[in-house]
Amino acid sequence: MLNYSTSEENYIKAIFHLQKQDGTVTTNELANELKTKPASVTDMMKKLKAKKLLNYQPYKGFRLNNDGTRVALGIIRRHRLWEYFLAEKLKFSWDEVHEVAEDLEHVSNKKLIDKLDEFLGFPRTDPHGDPIPDANGKIEISRKICITELPLHTVAIVSSVSDQSSEILELLEHKKITIGTKLEVKKKFDFDKSMEIRIGRHPVFTISDRLAQNIFVQSN
Amino acid sequence: MLNYSTSEENYIKAIFHLQKQDGTVTTNELANELKTKPASVTDMMKKLKAKKLLNYQPYKGFRLNNDGTRVALGIIRRHRLWEYFLAEKLKFSWDEVHEVAEDLEHVSNKKLIDKLDEFLGFPRTDPHGDPIPDANGKIEISRKICITELPLHTVAIVSSVSDQSSEILELLEHKKITIGTKLEVKKKFDFDKSMEIRIGRHPVFTISDRLAQNIFVQSN
DNA sequence: AAATGGGTTTAGATAAATCTAAATTAAATA
DNA sequence: TATTTAATTTAGATTTATCTAAACCCATTT
Ligand SMILES: [Mn+2]
Ligand SMILES: [Mn+2]
Ligand SMILES: [Mn+2]
Ligand SMILES: [Mn+2]
């Protein structure tokens, strides 16, 4: 296992996340994601290609290969285990963990991470409901769907939330929605795509399309 | 509170530790400590002087000022809290914690460290017996003396060990000496400076001068 | 007082990561 | 097919941290 610089790791992780949407990632997409400039991205892509972590032809975009994906999953494992530690053990709130984990994820000592995993009881998901890769880089394929796709009158369990800001946390806490909440969609309005939700036997209430877009439920 | 690079922090911490012996630290001493070259030290001393963390006149050595000392104590606080966490929670052994803490200490998020401190129950010393500075940078002045200085037939408590290698750990475990052990020196031999030690009512046994040099006891 | 030599600093080079501005390419439009 | 333009790459500079080799300072010895 080679070691990569903090900068290289940040690029690798960002490509991994952007790939999930499209097949191949473009220079501008990545520059935008990392708040850097396209020229810097091109430089780094040449370097990562030389290190055989991705496929890249000038002007044709890039995509992590098997080795690159393995490296990315290692970084994501570290990130999400630290997020779990911060929330569960240090009582950080949901929206605070990401920023700190951004730094901790770059301390890449295998024994540290495997012992941390054990200490935490081998958690399966981080505080945002995203799956944590195991020591071999295996990750659960999250069969999650957005509640905007959920059929009416079908009870489902909230499994993750894509936005991780304090603003969405405030709203979700107010609406008493959290990971694990069982809810069903009772009505959808075409006009503004808002919807009425019910949790258990509580009265129905309304959430905006903007919020609904960020709430995901288990689909199995 | 400004932030400093990993490299700057490593220099600051090393100066702090070297100062304890001498009054002022020399270029070669620091280069040797950090396994770098004297020219690199001079460059960094100019930078840290510009940042007003130390006193430095060409050819005259250097010494942290109040601000520099405050920064150093922050780094040492992080280092030792992580060492405690690794030993106490993740069950790392004594000689493994330092290396990992060398990386973790550079993640400088005040809330992270203060919550970690709380989670650990505000430990007063790290696994090697060295005091942990509190959130305000206050550190117990360790009134420790080496057992080579200890008068004969005086029971004392082992408070710290200066070498932190796996080799000394192996030997100390074999001799059943650990932090907290009550022992007394029964005899010293001029020829090789070896000494006979007694723990409680167990039979006396011999330790070398080389080992004795590294064992410190509380002196109060 | 002059010479010596170890410790220290300076000069100049290199590697990593970034940027701006200019050049280039490829795809869409005329 | 030629032109336009937006995305991308290249060229050249900058900052940080490091190094080697040469120059310099200064305390001790001749
Ligand atoms: Mn995160
Ligand atoms: Mn997360
Ligand atoms: Mn240590
Ligand atoms: Mn220690």
pLDDT tens per residue, chain A (220 residues)? Answer: 889 999 999 999 999 999 976 689 999 999 999 999 999 999 999 999 999 999 999 999 999 999 999 999 999 999 999 999 999 999 999 889 999 999 999 999 999 999 999 999 999 999 998 999 999 999 998 788 999 999 999 999 999 999 888 899 999 999 999 998 999 999 999 999 999 999 999 999 999 999 999 999 987 6
Asked if strand D comes closer than 7 Å to B8 Cβ, the answer is yes
Task: Indicate the helix (H) or strand (E) that contains A202.
Answer: none
Q: What is the count of structural domains for chain B?
A: 2
How far apart are the CA of B112 and the nearest CA of chain A, in angstroms?
A: 8
pLDDT at B141: 87
Which of B64, B94, B114 is where one domain is finished? B64
List, for residues A103-153, the tens digit of each pLDDT value. 999 999 999 999 999 999 999 999 998 999 999 999 998 788 999 999 999
How many residues would you count in chain A?
220
Q: Is residue B121 part of a domain?
A: no
Listed by number, the residues of chain B in 105-144 with a beta carbon closer than 8 Å to a beta carbon of chain A are 107, 109, 111-112, 115-116, 118-119
Q: What is the pLDDT of residue A2?
A: 86
CATH code for position B189 = 2.30.30.90
**Nucleotide nearest the Cα atom of B34 (by C1'):** D18
* Interval B182-212: pLDDT, tens: 999 999 999 999 999 999 999 999 999 999 9
> Residue type at A148?
T
d(CA B106, CA B131): 19
pLDDT of residue B164: 87
Determine the pLDDT at residue A22.
64
Q: What is the CATH number of the domain that holds A19?
A: 1.10.10.10
| Residue A24 placed within a domain | yes
Answer whether residue A72 is part of any domain. Answer: no
Q: Which residues of chain B have pLDDT under 70?
A: 21-22, 220
CA B120 – CA A163 distance, rounded (Å): 31
Tokens 């104590």 sit on residue? B73
- Within 8 A of B119 by CB-CB distance, chain A residues are 89-90
Report yes or no on B206 lying in a domain. yes
- Cα B64 to averaged position of ligand 1 atoms, centre (Å): 37
Give the number of the ligand closest to the Cα of residue A162.
2
Domain presence at residue A28 = yes
- Which of A47, A64, A81 finishes a domain? A64
Q: Of A206, A204, A186, nearest to A194 (Cα)? A: A206
For residue A111, being part of any structural domain is answered with no
Contact B119 A92 (CB under 8 A): no
A92/B103 CB distance under 8 A: no
Q: What pLDDT, on a 0 to 100 scale, did the predictor assign at position B22?
A: 64
Name every residue whose Cβ is closer than 8 Å to that of residue A57 and which is 6 or more positions away in sequence: none
Question: Looking at the domain assignment, is residue A151 inside a domain?
Answer: yes
Which of B64, B97, B112 corresponds to the end of one domain? B64
Give domain status of residue B182, yes or no: yes
Cβ–Cβ contact A85 with B under 8 A: no
Which residues span the domain enclosing A49? 6-64
Q: Chain D positions under 7 Å from a protein CB?
A: 7-12, 16-22, 25-26
Residues of A in contact with B100 (CB under 8 A): 107, 109, 111-112
Residue B1 is predicted with a pLDDT of 79
- Of B91, B104, B119, nearest to A90 by CB-CB distance is B119
**Quick check: B54 and B18 in contact, CB under 8 A?**
no
Q: Which residue has the tokens 């995993």?
A: A117
